Every structure is written in structure tokens, then in C-alpha cells.
Amino acid sequence: MLFNSTEFLRFFALFCAGYYLARRNVRLRNVLIIVGSYVFYSSWDYRFTGLLLFTSVLDFLLALGIDKSSTSAGRRTLLSTSIVLNVGVLVVFKYFNFFQDSLANLLDALGFHAHLSDFDWQVVLPVGISFYTFQSMGYVIDIYRRKIPACRAFLEYQAFVSFFPQLVAGPIERAGHMLPQFHRVLPIRVEQVESGVWLIIIGLFKKIALADNFAPLVALVYDHSIPSAATVFLGTVAFAAQIYCDFSGYSDIARGLAKLLGFELMLNFNLPYTATSMRDFWNRWHISLSHWLRDYLYIPLGGSRRGEARCYLNLAVTMLICGLWHGASLTFVLWGLWHGLGLIINRWYIRHTDWLPRLPRWFAWSVTMLFVLYGWMLFRASSLDSILVFNRALADFSLPNWLWPFVRNLVVLIIPLVLIELKQRRADDPSAPVVLARWPRAALQAALLLTVIVFWEAEPPPFIYFQF
């Protein structure tokens, strides 16, 4: 059940009707959220609702155990159990196929290829597993660190883990931010509805009108054409725009839906393509993941506290995990390491070049964007061989037949995105158009909605991040 499907619109309308009746009774409201979320989740594959339940029950009980445990050894054991089980679930469902294929290739190379088909099991990836596992694991770590008290109401915890607006593609919420919202009655204020409606419209616009129209341009370069420097560059620009519109569009819709229910989700994207350094980029792109990795991985590894070399190693390891989080593929590993390298260079530059003049802003932005774009090429390529082909193509300056129509489409689609982003940047507020006067805002919302309906598909393409 995708946010951009008629099925979801029907589901949400029905859910809202029940929710508005039940919203003043916390227990009833939470039950409704859980039931709605499980219905939502089971629309992909009902079998995986058991996994969602398993993760939430496990972490709920382990967190209670940690909270009650009086010894640090006991607390550490329970935390380790949670981490091992959560990571274990991720490894089994997300990386099993990768490990199996790698083992098969290795055995094949060693001459043991006769019986490989006997072990050819393909594990289906449950949608959203990386998101809710990280969210649940973050809660247990917070309890261990005594940052928040353990939640004693299972319904509240279950509603927090399974909350459908952010269940399958984030933002990866923090328990300290979300659990209190499940603990009390939430008034649905006019500003929230106003902002929620805007976020849903802009999110749908980004996904349906922009991302889904960037998609064939990207496919043209990455799946069909003979690559050259021009096509790789343009195709990667198109992919950068596609993945941003797709994922930030999803996050906007998620935040908007939550607002209509009275909840507040964290900001997940903050104009990432205006970043002037890699560090700046990661403070703006997929904020909930980058902050999760910072708080639960980079800092525990030592962060920048154990010397310069260790800091660089920590950055590389963190970004390697970030790459692997996206999927079991060497292309994601390379993408993660590439960003790790970017962060290392960024840090080195800040620490060692005080004597150099500050880079002009436009230059810093250009360098950052080129670095990010090369990263997207690694991310989008289907294999290491493709990466090699695309790299070689960077020395080929031939132009395809379809260069100008491609550029025209790219420009036509990028203009509205840039206008929206500029408005938000000037207002320094990611929900900027809400501050417009009533009728100009209504006209803008109407134009966006009509465009959304024009491009609405009976069988909508899924969000890119659902596969992670």
C-alpha cells in the first residue's frame, strides 16, 4: 500500500474516521494505530507482520530488563542480546542472499560448483526492516544509556515501532521524541493540519510529478544507453534529483500524515543540495539515519576523541555501515566508502588549512555537488562492472541523438524543484509556502494537486527507499 496509491487514500480516509472518534482515549487511539499499522504493513506481505511483532516484543522486554537490572554486566548482556538479535534479523533477511551468492561464487572458483543449486534459497526482504529495526534498536540503546525511562505500556511501544506513516521508509524516529506523544492525548491544531496538508501535497508532487518523471530519464542512461561523459553526467544529475524527490517526498508525506493525526515527526531532509561540504550534506540528507549512525555508531567507536587517525577510521567504518544499511551490494559499499572519504577529506581540510583562504561558497558548493554526484553514480550502478563502464565513459565526449530532449526534460522538471527549494531556503523554513497568504497558497496547492492528479498512476511505481 503505497502513499501514492488509491488504495492508501481509501485506507487513510477510513483510518481517519475511526481515529478522530478515538483520539481522546489514549489506549483506544494506540490500539487503532497498531491495528491500522499492521493492516498497512500486511498489505505488502502479511507473513512479515510476525517479524515486526517479534522485533517490538523482543526490544520492549529487553529494555524493561535493562531498566530493572542493577548490575552493569547484566545491562550490557541484555543490550548485547538486543543488538545481536536485531542485527541477526537484518543479516538473515537483508544479507543472506548476498552471502549465499558470494559463497557460491567462491566455491565455484574453487571448483565445487556441482551442488550449489541445492543451497539456492532466496530470502524475501521484508519492506521497511532496516528502518524499524534501527528505530527499535535505538530505543534499547537509549534505555541502556539511561537517556530515557523504559516504556512500561506495551501498546504505546508497539504503536511507536509500527506507526504506519513512518514504518516502511522512516524517518527513523527517536524514542525520546516519539514515545511521549503516544503517552498523551494529542490535540490536532489548525496549524498542524495546515502544515500537514501542505507537506502531503508537496510530497506527492515531488514523488508523482517529479521523481516518477525523472525515472525514465535515469533508466535511459543507466539501463539502456551506451554511456558517454555527457550521458553519465546528465543521467546522474537526473538520478540525484529523482532520489531526492522520491525519498524527501516520502518523508514529507509521512510527516504530513502524522501531523493530521496530531503527531510530529522529525525533519529528514533540509535542502541537501545546498550543502557546501560533505559534513554539511550529511547534516541535511536523510538526517534521521545520519544522526542515528552518529549517535549509536560513530560516537561509541570513539568519534573524534581518540586522535586524528582513529577519527578518520571511525568515519570510514560509519559510512561503510551506512552503505551496507542500504543493501547487500558492493556498489553500496563503495558508495559508503566514497562518502567516508569525503568526510575524511572534509575533516582534514578543516583541521589543516587554517592558513589557506576560505573557499568561495560557490566553489565549495560545486566541489561538494560533484563529489555527491559521483557517489550517486556508484549508488545507482547495477554492478561493479557497470561502475567500470561508466568510469571509462567519462573519457568519451560523444553526444547521443537524444541529448537536447533529455536536457529539456531535465530543466523542465528541475525548475519547480529549484523554485520550491529557493523559497524554503530564503524563508529558512522547510515548510515555507505555508507562510504565504491564504489565496496565493490555495492557488499554489491547487496547481500542485492538479499536476499530481495528471500524473497519478493506477499502478504507481514504488518509492526507491522501500527496497532498503
Partner 1 sequence: MKHDAEISFRELLRLILPTLVCMVAALAFLKIAHAAYILPLPSPALFPDNEVLFHQSRASRTRDPASIILLGDSTCLMGVDARDLSSQLPGQPHVRSLALVVWLDLRVYAEVLSDFARANPGQVQTVVLLVCPTKLAGAPTGSGLWNQIHHSTRPGEIEQPGTLQSLLGLQLLRENVFSHLLETPLETKNVAFLGFSSQLETYQTQHYGSMIEQGTFFVPVHGRTNQWRLTPDFAAETRDFRSKMPAGCKLFIGLTPSPKSSSTPFDRANRDEVLRQWNQWMHADGLLTNLPPVLPDLYFSASAHLNELGQKKYTQCVARALAAALQDAPAKEPAQREAVLSP
| Residues noted as catalytic | 326
Q: What single DSSP character describes residue 382?
A: S
224 to 10, 130, 193, 211: CA distances (angstroms): 37, 30, 44, 19
CB contact at 8 A, 37 and 163: yes
Among 146, 152, 184, 351, the residue binding partner 1 under the rule CB under 8 A is 184
For residue 142 the three cell numbers come to 537509549
Q: How far is the CB of 97 from partner 1 (least distance, A)?
A: 27
Among 9, 185, 418, 422, the residue binding partner 1 under the rule CB under 8 A is 185
User: How far is the C-alpha of 419 from the C-alpha of 411, rounded, in Å?
Assistant: 12
Q: Select from 79-87, 115-123, 280-288, 396-404 the region that touches partner 1 (CB under 8 A).
A: 396-404
Q: Select from 81-89, 94-102, 182-190, 343-351 the region that touches partner 1 (CB under 8 A).
A: 182-190
Cα dihedral 388, 394, 400, 405 sign: positive
User: How far is the C-alpha of 298 from the C-alpha of 295, rounded, in Å?
Assistant: 6
Which amino acid is it at 46? Answer: Y
Nearer to partner 1, 113 or 184 (CB): 184
Nearer to partner 1, 11 or 455 (CB): 455
Among 401, 426, 428, 459, the residue binding partner 1 under the rule CB under 8 A is 401
Task: Write down the residue that cell numbers 527517536 correspond to.
Answer: 174
User: How far is the C-alpha of 420 from the C-alpha of 428, rounded, in Å?
Assistant: 12
180: contact with partner 1 by CB under 8 A = no
CB contact at 8 A, 463 and 207: yes
For residue 447 the three cell numbers come to 496547481
- Where do the DSSP E strands lie in 290-449? none
Q: How far is the CB of 449 from partner 1 (least distance, A)?
A: 6
User: How far is the C-alpha of 466 from the C-alpha of 105, rounded, in Å?
Assistant: 28
Number of Cβ atoms within 10 Å of the Cβ of 92: 13
User: How far is the C-alpha of 59 from the C-alpha of 133, rounded, in Å?
Assistant: 10
Helix, strand, or coil (residue 71): coil
Nearer to partner 1, 84 or 446 (CB): 446
Task: Write down the residue that cell numbers 518523508 correspond to.
Answer: 251
Nearer to partner 1, 26 or 169 (CB): 26
Q: Per CB under 8 A, which of residues 432..451 are in contact with partner 1?
A: 438-439, 441-443, 445-447, 449-451
458: contact with partner 1 by CB under 8 A = yes
Among 50, 88, 216, 360, the residue binding partner 1 under the rule CB under 8 A is 216
Helix, strand, or coil (residue 397): coil
Length of the chain: 468
Among 136, 331, 409, 424, the residue binding partner 1 under the rule CB under 8 A is 409
Nearer to partner 1, 9 or 124 (CB): 9
Number of Cβ atoms within 10 Å of the Cβ of 24: 11
Among 92, 103, 412, 418, the residue binding partner 1 under the rule CB under 8 A is 412
CB contact at 8 A, 323 and 379: no
Binding residues for partner 1, how many (CB under 8 A)? 44
Q: Per CB under 8 A, which of residues 187..206 are in contact with partner 1?
A: 187-190, 192-194, 197
Among 115, 224, 358, 361, the residue binding partner 1 under the rule CB under 8 A is 224
Q: Select from 221-229, 332-340, 365-373, 376-384 the region that touches partner 1 (CB under 8 A).
A: 221-229
Q: Select from 67-75, 242-250, 424-432, 455-463 the region that touches partner 1 (CB under 8 A).
A: 455-463
Nearer to partner 1, 268 or 409 (CB): 409
226: contact with partner 1 by CB under 8 A = yes
Nearer to partner 1, 10 or 76 (CB): 10
CB contact at 8 A, 39 and 200: no
Among 34, 66, 202, 220, the residue binding partner 1 under the rule CB under 8 A is 220
13: contact with partner 1 by CB under 8 A = no
Give φ, ψ of 260 to 5 degrees.
Answer: -65, -20
Nearer to partner 1, 350 or 446 (CB): 446
Q: Per CB under 8 A, which of residues 234..293 are in contact with partner 1?
A: none
Q: Select from 162-170, 186-194, 280-288, 320-328 the region that touches partner 1 (CB under 8 A).
A: 186-194
Which of 51, 369, 396 has its CA nearest to residue 236? 369
Which of 141, 161, 130, 180 has its CA nearest to residue 57? 161
Q: Select from 224-232, 302-310, 319-327, 339-347 the region that touches partner 1 (CB under 8 A).
A: 224-232
Q: How far is the CB of 336 from partner 1 (least distance, A)?
A: 31
453: contact with partner 1 by CB under 8 A = yes
Among 9, 14, 24, 302, the residue binding partner 1 under the rule CB under 8 A is 24
Nearer to partner 1, 12 or 38 (CB): 12
Q: What single DSSP character describes residue 118?
A: G
User: DSSP of 101-116, one letter per residue?
Assistant: HHHHHHHHHTT--TTG
Cα dihedral 261, 264, 269, 274 sign: positive
Binding residues (CB under 8 A) for partner 1: these are: 24, 184-185, 187-190, 192-194, 197, 213, 216-217, 219-220, 224-226, 400-402, 405-406, 408-409, 412-413, 438-439, 441-443, 445-447, 449-451, 453-456, 458
